[in-house]
Amino acid sequence: MTAHPENLKLIKEISRPDILFSVAALNETKVFVGSSDSKIHRLNTQEDKAEPSELSGHTSYVTGLELVGDQLVSAAYDGKLKWWDLENKAEIRSVDAHAKWIRRTALSHDGKQLATVSDDMVCRVWDAVNGNCLHELKGHQAVTPNHFPSMLYCCAFSQDDRLLATADKIGHVVVWDLQSGKEVKTIETPDMYTWDPKARIHSIGGVRSVAFSPDGKQLVIGGMGHVGNIDHLGGKSLIEVFDWEKGERLHQLADDSYKGLTERLVFHPNGEWFIAAGGDHAGFVKCIDANTGKTIVDSKASTHVHDIRLDDQQGMLVAVGHGKLSLWQL
Amino acid sequence: MSKRRNWFCGSEEHRISRRGFLGTAAATAGSMSALNLLREPCLAAELKKQDKRVILLWLAGGASQLETWDPKPGRSTGGPFAAIPTSVPGIHISELMPKMARRMEDTAIIRSLNTKDGSHGGGARMMHLGRRDEAAVKYPDLGAVLARELGSADSRVPDNVSFYTATEGRGSAVGQAGFLGARYLPMSLTTNSKPDNLARLDSISDLDHQQRHELRELLSNRFIEYRDSSSLRSHNEAYSRVRGLMSSDKLFDVSEEPQSIRDLYGPSLFAEQCLIARRLVEAGTPFVKVSRAWWDSHGQNFETHLELVSELDHVMSTLLDDLKQRGLLENTMVITLSEFGRTPKINASLGRDHFASAWSCSLSGCGINGGTVYGATDEDGQTVKDGEVDAGDLFATIYQALGIDPHTEYHVGSRPIPLVHEKASVVTDVLA
């Protein structure tokens, strides 16, 4: 069985007292979640009462989890990357990776490189096994055009792991060549950033998710459209599909049904469609045709979704967010 | 309206109006030593009060106490920011305020405000007035009271200035002079940082302007000769100050400042207006409110506060440094205040909502015992655990620190109106 968008259906929800920012799946039943309580919890999703067991060592929100062989790597707002021995529940290595919050991690498809992006506006690429820093990528401005701190929200490897995309608060996207460590393309997505110069004199928005298509031709970018009342996440969820080499926007999908941030984008391996998830006070999960930019199927989630993991072989999607872990059939 | 003057010593030479005294004192500074007035304790205190100034940093929309003055790291309500130690042992504040953390000696934090009103409009009124209006009485706000108490009639600078350049929340934070009359309303700057129409028209000579002023005054005085109207009097007072105010327009021009000072404050509008506030208090303006909107972070509270607190930390610390280096901080109080704080509970939009039950403000400089924390909230910040303070207590404390007896009474007709509500008490722990 492989995942198919027409099958999208919520099959189970597990409530949690905390906010879950990241998820990694060991197999179809055992998942790890990164929490607002600064810990990593292991949950068995098949048990009626999912009893967590903890890995602890961070001092702030755990926003990135990646499985590297039989080890788990976690990243957090405390700026640290930690490697964990899952069998002994022990910390193997801790690296002071960034001076500010680590917003996102991405593991290369061959499992050898790990990318981290931070509000210090640097992307670092690490040897995923030994923790050595391989690249330090600097191409995002530290402050917004209005003189406030900017934020570097997300990153994603291309399928062949030769490229890495990073994106920031003001909608500046950079595609990097990982052999040279140089920029190969920049793309601007100004609709992702709302600066309110009159009513509130502050900003909201940014590019919160990015993904390459499996053939490497498309770059999909997610965030939120312009917002009138920026006190809330009141903008339409927004996705833009680019032919990144041409710098040409192919599709812009501003959703009338769902508001808030598109937090995660994950392509199906066949490249025909991708999953987008996120939300405002509530959440959404939707599947989008990559060629037309049209929504194939969508569903309201009971709460804001911060991270997803697709298990194509099992036809399963694990989503985590505000006080919830949810399992979706695909 | 009249006022019970509790500074009166009883001697005949002191049987003068305070305004008359201050006016005389200002006009005849050279004769002061001859009169030896400063050796009279009560008058010396009165003169000293003259020099007091206040800059209110109004954090409109409700700044989060948890991301500023009362962090709760490690608690589910605490959010992702750490607490950092300050230059005063034992006091920790949010990591978003590293510059203020190095300058806590001049600042007192009150962490135990319970003001009960979680609406923008009601909360803003409450925190401007120190209480609620009554059906029959509109109270003067902090700026109006301080303009009256600390200002002088013949001042050539405005005595109550309010910057509120953003539009959101402005209607809740407008100046209110209440029974004190329009004379004490703020000069409100809402479109830019410089007053419009303050400069004399080129088509009118200074002589023409002076003569028009004298003619208006003559006609106006004849009109009110047999009338008893406080509004007419305040109207006339306002006009009488026009020429002085017109000469103060350069105070609002930041290009008059050295570029090095402007660079220290930074490029934001809030920074520029705080620099103007410093120029104003240096020139003698007793009350300036700089409103920074908009902190209403129902969604993305942490991103919002990363943006706004970083700016507040930089600008506020620069302002305090600047005032200190100029010898002004001893006589200038800097206050941070909102209409309320924000909920400890983090909502699903990673936001915080309105919360008036347990929140914080800060007082720096004049009359304040810096490096102190008063009051405490519980471990999750849900309730005041110790030293509950309401709006009246806070205002009483501010007045006391400025040398104004908070139990002074005004009279509206025959009704005595205390400066603060009757149950209000001074938080003496934060006073120098």
pLDDT of B244 > 70? The answer is no
Distance CA A293, CA B163 (A): 47
> Residue B297: is its pLDDT beyond 80?
yes
Helices (H), A77-157: none
pLDDT attached to residue B6: 34
B378 token code pair: 């519980």
Q: Residue A201 and residue B294: Cβ atoms within 8 Å?
A: yes
Q: Answer yes or no: do B349 and A303 touch at CB < 8 A.
A: no
Structure tokens at B18: 């305070």
Mapping DSSP to helix (H, G, I), strand (E, B) and coil, where does residue B47 land? Answer: helix
Cβ–Cβ gap A147/B268 under 8 Å: yes
Helix (H, G, I), strand (E, B) or coil at A263: strand
Query: What is the per-residue pLDDT across B133-174, written as a single tens digit (0 to 9) for each?
Result: 998 899 999 999 999 999 987 788 899 999 999 999 999 999
Instruction: Reply yes or no on whether the pLDDT at A328 is more than 80.
Output: yes
Closest chain B residue to A228, measured at CA = B168
- Lowest-pLDDT range of B198-202, B272-276, B334-338: B198-202
pLDDT of B413 > 50? The answer is yes
H/E run at residue A290: none
pLDDT of A283 reads 97
Q: Do B266 and A198 touch (CB under 8 A)?
A: no
Exposure of A263 in the CB half-sphere (CA atoms within 13 A): 32
Answer whether B167 sits within 8 Å of A198, measured CB to CB: yes
Instruction: Give chain A positions within 8 Å (CB) of B168.
Output: 199-200
Question: At residue B110, does pLDDT exceed 90?
Answer: yes
B350, B353, B354: best to mutate for the A interface, most A CBs within 10 A:
B350
Task: Taking residues B21-41, report their average pLDDT.
Answer: 35
Q: Backbone phi, then psi, for A53, in 5-degree steps?
A: -125, 145
More confidently predicted of B199 and B61: B61
Encoding tokens for residue B407?
């139990």
Phi, psi angles (nearest 5°) of residue B103: -130, 35
Comparing A48-52, A92-96, B175-179, the range with the smallest average pLDDT is A48-52
**DSSP conformational letter for A295:** E
Of B308, B347, B350, the CB nearest to A202: B308
Over 50: is that where the pLDDT of B182 sits?
yes
- Hey, how many other C-beta atoms are within 10 angstroms of the C-beta on A131? 17
- Res. B200: pLDDT tops 90: no
Distances (CA, A) of B295 to A128, B46, B364, B406: 40, 38, 21, 30
Name beta bridge partners: A185. Answer: A175
The closest of A73, A69, A89 to A34, measured between CA atoms, is A73
pLDDT of residue A103: 98
- Tell me if B350 and A148 make a contact (CB, 8 A cut-off): no
Strands (E), A30-112: 30-35, 39-44, 53-56, 62-68, 71-76, 80-85, 90-96, 102-107
CB A272 within 8 A of CB A220: no
Chains A & B: contacts with CB separation below 8 Å = 96
pTM: 0.89
In this prediction, residue B213 carries a pLDDT of 75
Asked whether A167 and A207 are in contact (CB, 8 A), the reply is yes
Confidence at B420, pLDDT banded by 50, 70, 90: very high
Provide mean pLDDT across the span A151-166: 98
Q: Are B276 and B268 in contact (CB under 8 A)?
A: no
What pLDDT score was predicted for residue B35? 31
**pLDDT category, B203, cuts 50, 70, 90?**
confident
Question: Do A199 and B268 count as a contact with CB atoms less than 8 A apart?
Answer: no
Residue of A77, A149, A199 lying closest to B307 (CB–CB) = A149
Is the sign of the CA dihedral B390, B395, B400, B405 positive or negative?
negative
| Pairing of β A39-44 and β A193-196 | unpaired
CB contact under 8 A, B351 and A148: no
Contacts with B342 (C-beta within 8 Å, 6 or more apart), sequence order? B62, B63, B64, B65, B66, B297, B301, B352, B353, B354, B355, B359
Residue B294 neighbours by CB distance under 10 Å: 25
Q: Going edge to edge, which strands form the sheet with A163-168? A: A152-157, A163-168, A172-177, A182-188
User: Residue B135 is encoded by which pair of tokens?
Assistant: 């059906």
Whether the pLDDT of residue A42 is over 60: the answer is yes
Beta carbons of B294 and A199 less than 8 Å apart = yes
**pLDDT recorded at residue A115:** 98
C-alpha torsion angle, residues A241, A242, A243, A246 (rounded to 10): 160
The CA distance from B111 to B130, in Å, is 17
Residues 6+ apart with CB under 8 A from B332: B52, B53, B54, B55, B281, B323, B365, B366
Q: Is B416 on the interface with A (CB under 8 A)?
A: no
The overall average pLDDT reported for chain A is: 96
Mutate to test the interface with B, among A231, A300, A326 (most CBs of B within 10 A): A231
Q: What is the pLDDT of residues A91-144, one digit of tens each?
A: 999 999 999 999 999 999 999 999 999 999 999 999 999 999 999 999 999 999
Tell me how far CA of residue B348 lies from CA of A19, A232, A270, A279, B312, in angstroms.
9, 11, 33, 9, 26
- Phi and psi torsions of B55, nearest 5°: -115, 115
Per the DSSP assignment, residues forming a β-bridge with A218 are A243
Average of per-residue pLDDT across B393-420: 94
Phi/psi of residue A169, nearest 5 degrees = -65, -40
Of the candidates B353, B356, B419, B430, the residue with the CA atom closest to the CA atom of residue B387? B430
pLDDT digits (tens, 9 = 90+) for B67-84: 999 999 999 999 999 999
| Residue B315 backbone dihedrals phi, psi, to 5 degrees | -70, -45
Q: What is the pLDDT of residue B102?
A: 98
Question: DSSP E strands: which ranges in B247-329?
Answer: 287-293
pLDDT of residue B4: 34
Task: Give yes or no for residue B33 having a pLDDT over 70.
Answer: no
- Widest pairwise Cα distance in chain B: 70
Question: According to the model, what pLDDT value does residue B24 have?
Answer: 35
- What pLDDT, on the 0 to 100 scale, is given for residue A50? 77
Q: List the single range of A246-260, B3-17, B177-191 with lowest mean pLDDT.
A: B3-17
330-359 in chain B: CB under 8 A from chain A: 346-351
Q: What integer best gives the mean pLDDT of chain B? A: 86
Residue A174's Cβ-count burial label (10 Å; 0-12, 13-18, 19+) is buried
List of chain B residues whose C-beta atoms are within 8 Å of the C-beta of residue A232: 298-299, 349, 351
Of B274, B352, B261, whose CA–CA distance to B313 is shortest? B274
Q: Percentage of residues in chain B with pLDDT exceeding 90? A: 70
Name the token pair of A109: 């498809």
DSSP at B82: P
| φ/ψ (deg, to 5) at A75 | -135, 150
Q: How far apart, in Å, are the Cα atoms of B108 and each of A188, B100, B150, B392? A: 45, 11, 22, 18
Query: Letter for the amino acid at B53?
Result: R
**Record: contact A200-B300, CB cut-off 8 A:** no
Task: Give me the mean pLDDT over the B169-187 stretch.
Answer: 94
Percent of chain A with pLDDT over 90: 95
Query: What are B375's two structure tokens?
Result: 């009051």
Chain-chain contact of B80 with A36 (C-beta, under 8 angstroms):
yes
Measured CA to CA in angstroms, residue B111 lies from B331, B372, B389, B402 at distances of: 24, 11, 9, 21
- Residue B230 confidence (pLDDT): 58
The verdict on ipTM greater than 0.90 is yes
pLDDT exceeds cutoff 90 at A230: yes
Arithmetic mean of pLDDT, B29-51: 45
Which of the four pLDDT bands, split at 50, 70 and 90, describes residue A2?
confident
B266 touches chain A (CB under 8 A): yes
Q: Which of B192, B262, B269, B300 to mutate to test the interface with A (most CBs of A within 10 A)?
A: B300
Residues 78-117 on B with a CB inside 8 Å of A are: 80-82
| Residue that the structure tokens 């009362």 belong to | B70
Report chain A residues whose CB lies below 8 A from the CB of B311: 148
Start-to-end C-alpha separation, chain A: 10
* Nearest CB neighbour to A231, from listed B80, B165, B299: B299
pLDDT band (50, 70, 90) for residue A247: very high
The rounded distance, in Å, linking the Cα atoms of A55 and B188 is 56
Which member of B266, B304, B346 has the closest CB to residue A202?
Answer: B304
Q: What is the DSSP letter of B389?
A: B
State the DSSP code for B179.
Answer: G
Is the pLDDT at B240 greater than 70? The verdict is no
State CA B422 to chain mean position distance: 22
Q: Which of A60, A149, A304 sits opposite B349 (nearest CB)?
A: A304
CB contact under 8 Å between A149 and B82, yes or no, is no
By CA distance, what is A37's nearest residue in B?
Answer: B76
Of the listed ranges A45-49, A281-285, A302-306, B96-100, the one predicted with least confidence: A45-49
Contact call for A231 and B298, based on CB within 8 A: yes
pLDDT band at residue B392 using 50, 70 and 90 as cut-offs: very high
Max Cα-Cα span within chain A: 55
The answer, yes or no, to whether residue B343 has pLDDT greater than 50, is yes
pLDDT in tens, B344-387: 999 999 999 999 999 999 999 999 999 999 999 999 999 999 99
The confidence band for A222, taking pLDDT boundaries of 50, 70 and 90, is very high
Contact check, Cβ <8 Å, B349/A281: yes
